[in-house]
Amino acid sequence: MTTTQSKYLGAALALAIMVGGVAGCHKKDDTVDGAPGPAEQVGRRLDQATDKAGRDLTKAADHANQQIQDAAQQTREEVNKATDATGKKLEEAGEKLQEKANENK
């Protein structure tokens, strides 16, 4: 097959695909029974699937965000408890040092 023939064959295939795509899309008025054409049906299903996927993704992101916020709150509470406990221990150690210093006077 020559280069020219390949170009014509490619153009003919592209034209056939475009004509097939247009022929698959019918308006309700263009059909005998008013039902959507096959391409429109596929398009609607694709729209529904992408809408559902978007809703599911948003729901999953919201759930993950809530879990992150809950974990952050729990971490803050645990850090506060640890800080308080450390402060008390340091205060006790300071009091003991003060007592030792007073005994040595």
Please write the tens of the pLDDT for every residue from 71-86: 999 999 999 999 999 9
Q: How far is CA 92 from the centre of its chain?
A: 50
The structure's pTM equals 0.49
Please write the tens of the pLDDT for every residue from 24-45: 555 555 555 678 888 899 999 9
Given a contact cutoff of 8 angstroms between Cβ atoms, the answer to whether 40 and 25 are in contact is yes
Angle separating helix axes 3-24 and 38-103, nearest 10 degrees = 90
